[in-house]
Amino acid sequence: MGFRPKTVRELLDWSYANLAAYQVALAQDPPAYNKVCWMTRSRMYRGLHSGDMRRQSLYKNEREKLTHKDRCAYCGVTDVPLTLDHLFAKSRHGTDSGDNLVYCCQKCNSSKGNKDYFQWIQAIGRPVSIPVAERYLKNAYAHCFQANILDLPLDAAPSDLPFDLRSIPLTWDIPAETSTKPKTR
Ligand SMILES: [Zn+2]
């Protein structure tokens, strides 16, 4: 794990490639990182970086959102009324586009407030939601592509982005209880 991204593009590609490896790790029984995970990561990273591979569109994530309309995107609770949340907060210029909206419970909505998703989830010590992390990374990439800042060194990236570059996890730890099922409360 010696790789340290130097540009916005490297950071977003590396995080996304590690998220792919994480999903392979979670599919093991019991969940664990192994050689296949690292192969997945390097193939994904090289592919994204060279332009031979592209991030999947949000189609899959949007379809998931519609089929799980009764579930909080952040904590997985299903038996409570849900609200629409701006993944990238509106006060940080997150858009009203469907790509930036998720269903979540009142409790998560008010706890997250206008915080960055990763900042918030790390602060409350809950495992990341993979669909939310995917959506976040895809939206962040699209934003940086549009703003033409992908190839800026990280310390030269604007500080007023709708998301927090410094809170984006580079690697993803398997939760201690190794359960990937949504939590209920
Ligand atoms: Zn919730």
User: Ligand 1 center to residue 42 CA distance, Å?
Assistant: 33
Distance 91 CA to ligand 1 centre (A): 20
Percent share of the chain, pLDDT over 90: 78
**What local confidence, expressed as pLDDT, does residue 57 receive?**
83
Structure tokens at 8: 């916005």
Domains and CATH numbers, the chain: 1-54 (no CATH), 58-145 (1.10.30)
Pairing relation of β-strands 82-86 and 101-105?
Answer: antiparallel
Has residue 61 got a pLDDT over 70?
Answer: yes
pLDDT of residue 1: 53
Q: Is 108 exposed, middle or buried (0-12, 13-18, 19+ CB in 10 A)?
A: buried
CA of 181 from ligand 1 middle (Å) equals 14
CA atoms of 81 and 79, how far apart (whole Å): 7
* Cα-to-centroid distance, 82 and ligand 1 (Å): 8
Strand, helix or coil for residue 83 = strand
Q: Residue 40 Cα, ligand 1 centroid: separation in angstroms?
A: 31
- The string of pLDDT tens digits covering residues 112-170 is 999 999 999 999 999 899 999 999 999 999 999 999 999 999 999 999 999 999 999 99
Q: Supply the pLDDT for residue 178.
A: 56
In degrees, rounded to 5, the angle at the alpha carbon of residue 104 between the alpha carbons of residues 79 and 165 is 150
Instruction: Tell me, in angstroms, the distance from the centre of ligand 1 to residue 61's CA.
Output: 18
Distance from residue 77's CA to the centre of ligand 1 (Å): 6
How high does pLDDT run on average in the chain?
92
Tell me whether the omega of the peptide bond preceding residue 131 falls within 30 degrees of 0, making it cis: no
Residue 83 CA, ligand 1 centroid: distance in Å:
10
CA of 9 to the centre of ligand 1 (A): 31
Quick check: 60 pLDDT over 90?
no
Decide: 32 and 174 in contact? Cβ < 8 Å: yes
CA angle 151, 154, 156 (to 5 degrees): 85
The CA 63 to ligand 1 mean position distance, Å, reads 19
Find the 120 Cα to ligand 1 centroid distance in Å. 13
pLDDT digits (tens, 9 = 90+) for 72-110: 999 999 999 999 999 999 999 999 999 999 999 999 999
> Is the pLDDT assigned to residue 183 strictly greater than 70?
no
Contact by Cβ (8 Å): 73, 65: yes
